[in-house]
Amino acid sequence: VMAFERGRTTEAREHFKQGVRTAAGAQSAAIWQSWGILEAQVGDEEQARKLFQKGLVVCPKSKYIWLAWGVWEAKLGYIERARELLSKGCKLNPMDTYLLQALAKLEAESGNIGLARKLFEQGTVLDSRHQPNWNAWALAEWRAGEIDRARNLFQRGVWVDPKKKDAAKLFHAWGVLEEREGNISLARQLYKCAVKV
């Protein structure tokens, strides 16, 4: 992973190959996932899918593989495939808010705001302190034209823990909303709160 992050793709690929040749490495979902992400980022779709699949053979419930694979497929525009992957990941990991949030975002971006709302709400029930879910939900409502609902969600997300780093993202996004709505004074205060956090 460090080699890949430094732009040494060939070296990183060799490390992954060496890793999966060992008994422990072949059974490591993390290696298969990381290698799959590498291939996905360099554009080898077929190889990335094969590697994600191998990781799921080793660990069928790996929330990290389901999430990485589903989000990647969505970025490529394969929405139905992404929906299937994220939905299956959610079924196998019903307590994982990150998978649920990713599925909710996918549904919102696909225009299924009603379903997205149910999924976002389910995420807040699972973990009411998960501020990225509040932020994603508020942004989805804003994009759907529900400004007051978005404001309410930003506020609820901030109240979870106003001093947590994730609150800065909520304050910032809320500030952008208010700025675009012409509430410059409020936007300025929200930006200040983001900087303070």
CB contact at 8 A, 101 and 86: no
* 66's tokens: 């389901």
Question: HEC profile for 23-81?
Answer: HHHHCCHHHHHHHHHHHHHHCCHHHHHHHHHHHHHHCCCCHHHHHHHHHHHHHHCCHHH
What digits encode the pLDDT tens for the residues 97-149? Answer: 999 999 999 999 999 999 999 999 999 999 999 999 999 999 999 999 999 99
- Distance of alpha carbon 49 from alpha carbon 63, whole angstroms: 16
What digits encode the pLDDT tens for the residues 40-59? Answer: 999 999 999 999 999 999 99
pTM of the model: 0.90
Alpha-carbon dihedral angle through residues 92, 97, 99, 103, given to the nearest 10 degrees: 110
Q: Which of 133, 179, 134, 132 is nearest to 154 (CA)?
A: 134
